[in-house]
């Protein structure tokens, strides 16, 4: 996920892309809208007895009205659903227990969330009540699979001892929160080696090992293939395989990978021109059994651009064709697939459109 980067460049890049596209695409210009509605404070004249609680409640309510106002219908989920879990990253603002309903609202059958504010070091521990509320909400929802995405600040490969220690602590707590909620997966980016690649990979693998040892539980750690920007590790299948191979044998069953279509395309894997070749290399070096989750994002950056800029499905450099193939690929049918595409003007319309489109690609 590259949410932190989206806001800044989105407008400029969206414009650039729009310029290259045929006129038809210009019909729906995307406004650069903040991802979450700004929290509205209670009216100042009435002193509220519990201002914090009221504020939190009001953060949640606009979501419900967004759903009512959306003109885009929810995708129809067939019963039984021939596909594996299909969904998107959804907001957990106001509590993790609110995420399953939000995923229901977009017609998802699986979800991705943050268990804490992803661009802050501030940690969070779930109370027993919060865990119970999440589990109850999940059970009452149509969600069959759930993953977290860890904090953007974590760099387990850092040569800076202080930053690495802080990252390891944060990552371990993230893993513990995921285990507490009973999440199926935790998606995590390999770190930036900064000084020297080989030692960075070793530091990264050691930290992953330490965290897995310190936080036993059901959540599968899925290391995400990266776009290869800067000194980030894990943008080639070889390097990801190398990183995973360094984790001790007794922890291997808790490891998987997350393949983000935008990242691998930007890293140079041509899902458009050499779809079969890319997957053959993936299978050779990493293996389908390791594929814990797919992030379905189109790419604003060109093939090999090393730019992590997500676009709506069919509106980037990858285009509809490769996503149609992914949705029809029997080897990938049951692999959970999550969107991390721009939300647009409200929190549901784009995701509903994308999920409907993906289901249509699958013929489901
Ligand atoms: Zn990510
Ligand atoms: Zn991703």
End-to-end alpha-carbon separation of the chain, Å? 26
Does pLDDT of 323 surpass 70?
A: yes
Overall size of the chain counted in residues: 364
Q: What pLDDT score was predicted for residue 364?
A: 72
CA of 67 from ligand 1 middle (Å) equals 26
Buried b vs exposed e over 138-153: b needs ≥16 C-beta within 10 Å?
beebbbbbbbbbbbbe
Distance CA 256, CA 292 (A): 5
Does pLDDT of 328 surpass 60?
A: yes
Q: What pLDDT score was predicted for residue 68?
A: 54
- What share of the chain in percent tops pLDDT 70? 81
CA of 144 from ligand 1 middle (Å) equals 21
From the CA of 150, which ligand is nearest?
1
321: which 2 tokens? 């064709």
Does pLDDT of 20 surpass 90?
A: no
* pTM for the model: 0.82
- What share of the chain in percent tops pLDDT 90? 79
Give per-residue pLDDT as tens, 71-87: 999 999 999 999 999 99
Distance CA 352, CA 128 (A): 33
CA of 297 from ligand 2 middle (Å) equals 8
Q: What is the mean pLDDT of the chain?
A: 87
What SS3 string covers 214-268? HCCCCCEEEEECCCCCCCECCCCHHHHHHHHHCCCHHHHHHEEEEEEHHHHHHCC
- Alpha carbon separation from 184 to 2, 215, 265, 316 (Å, rounded): 21, 14, 26, 30
CA of 46 from ligand 1 middle (Å) equals 43
Give per-residue pLDDT as tens, 284-312: 999 999 999 999 999 999 999 999 999 99
8 Å CB contact between 191 and 200: yes
- Nearby residues of 269 by Cβ (< 8 Å), 6 or more positions away: 237, 278, 281
CA of 220 from ligand 2 middle (Å) equals 16
Listed by start position, the domains of the chain span 60-362
Q: What pLDDT score was predicted for residue 69?
A: 72
Q: What pLDDT score was predicted for residue 70?
A: 85
What SS3 string covers the chain? CCHHHHHHHHHHHHHHHHHHCCHHHHHCCCCCCCCCCCCCCCCCCCCCCCHHHHHHHHHHHHHHHHHHHCCCCCCCCCCCCCCCCEEEECCCCCCHHHHHHHHHHCCCCEEEECCCCCCCCCCCCCCHHHHHHHHHHHHHCCCCCEEEECCCCCCCCCCCHHHHHHHHHHHHHHHHHHHHHCCCEEEECCCECCCCHHHHHHHHHHHHHHHHHHCCCCCEEEEECCCCCCCECCCCHHHHHHHHHCCCHHHHHHEEEEEEHHHHHHCCCCCCCCHHHHHHHHHHHCCHHHEEEEEECEECCCCCCCCCCEECCCCCCCCHHHHHHHHHCHHHCCCCEEECCCCCCCCCHHHHHHHHHHHHHHCC
CA of 211 from ligand 1 middle (Å) equals 19
Does pLDDT of 21 surpass 70?
A: no
CATH assignment of 60-362? 3.20.20.150
Tracing tokens 């501030």 back to the chain, one arrives at: 122
Question: Crossing angle for the helix pair 237-245 and 275-285, nearest 10 degrees?
Answer: 20
Q: 172: closest CA among 150, 201, 200? A: 150
CA of 150 from ligand 1 middle (Å) equals 8
Distance CA 173, CA 99 (A): 20
Give per-residue pLDDT as tens, 269-279: 999 999 999 99
Does pLDDT of 190 surpass 80?
A: yes
CA of 3 from ligand 2 middle (Å) equals 10
How many other C-beta atoms lie within 10 A of the C-beta of residue 175?
26
Give per-residue pLDDT as tens, 49-70: 444 444 444 444 445 444 457 8
Give per-residue pLDDT as tens, 239-265: 999 999 999 999 999 999 999 999 999
Does pLDDT of 280 surpass 80?
A: yes
CA of 31 from ligand 2 middle (Å) equals 22
From the CA of 114, which ligand is nearest?
1
Give per-residue pLDDT as tens, 114-155: 999 999 999 999 999 999 999 999 999 999 999 999 999 999
CA of 146 from ligand 2 middle (Å) equals 15
β partners of residue 242:
none
Distance CA 339, CA 334 (A): 15
Give the dihedral sign, CA 242/248/249/253: negative
């Amino acid at each position: 996920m590259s949410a932190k980067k989206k806001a800044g460049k989105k407008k400029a890049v969206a414009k650039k892309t729009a310029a290259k596209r045929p006129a038809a695409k210009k019909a729906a210009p995307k406004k650069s809208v903040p991802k979450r509605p700004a929290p509205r404070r209670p009216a100042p004249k009435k002193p509220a007895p519990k201002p914090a609680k009221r504020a939190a409640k009001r953060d949640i309510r606009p979501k419900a009205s967004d759903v009512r106002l959306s003109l885009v219908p929810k995708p129809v989920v067939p019963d039984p659903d021939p596909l594996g879990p299909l969904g998107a990253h959804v907001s957990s603002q106001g509590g993790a227990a609110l995420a399953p309903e939000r995923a229901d609202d977009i017609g998802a059958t699986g979800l991705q969330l943050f268990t804490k504010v992803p661009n802050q070091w501030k940690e969070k521990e779930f109370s027993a009540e919060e865990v119970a509320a999440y589990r109850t909400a999940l059970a009452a929802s149509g969600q069959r699979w759930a993953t977290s995405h860890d904090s953007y600040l974590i760099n387990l490969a850092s040569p800076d001892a202080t930053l690495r220690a802080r990252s390891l602590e944060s990552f371990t707590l993230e893993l513990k929160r995921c285990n507490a909620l009973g999440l199926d997966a935790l998606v995590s980016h390999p770190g930036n080696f900064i000084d020297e690649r080989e030692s960075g990979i070793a530091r990264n693998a050691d930290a992953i090992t330490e965290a897995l040892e310190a936080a036993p539980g059901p959540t599968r750690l899925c290391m995400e293939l990266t776009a290869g920007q800067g000194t980030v590790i894990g943008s080639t299948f070889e390097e990801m395989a190398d990183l995973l191979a360094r984790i001790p044998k007794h922890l291997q069953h808790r490891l998987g990978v997350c393949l983000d279509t935008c990242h691998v395309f930007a890293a140079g894997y041509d899902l458009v021109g050499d779809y079969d070749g890319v997957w053959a290399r993936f299978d050779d070096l990493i293996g389908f059994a390791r594929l814990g989750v797919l992030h379905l994002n189109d790419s604003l950056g060109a093939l090999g651009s090393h730019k992590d800029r997500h676009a709506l499905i069919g509106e980037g450099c990858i285009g509809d064709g490769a996503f149609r193939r992914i949705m029809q690929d029997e080897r990938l049918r049951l692999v959970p697939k999550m969107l991390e595409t721009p939300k647009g003007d409200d929190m549901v319309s784009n995701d509903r459109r994308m999920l409907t489109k993906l289901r249509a690609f699958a013929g489901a």
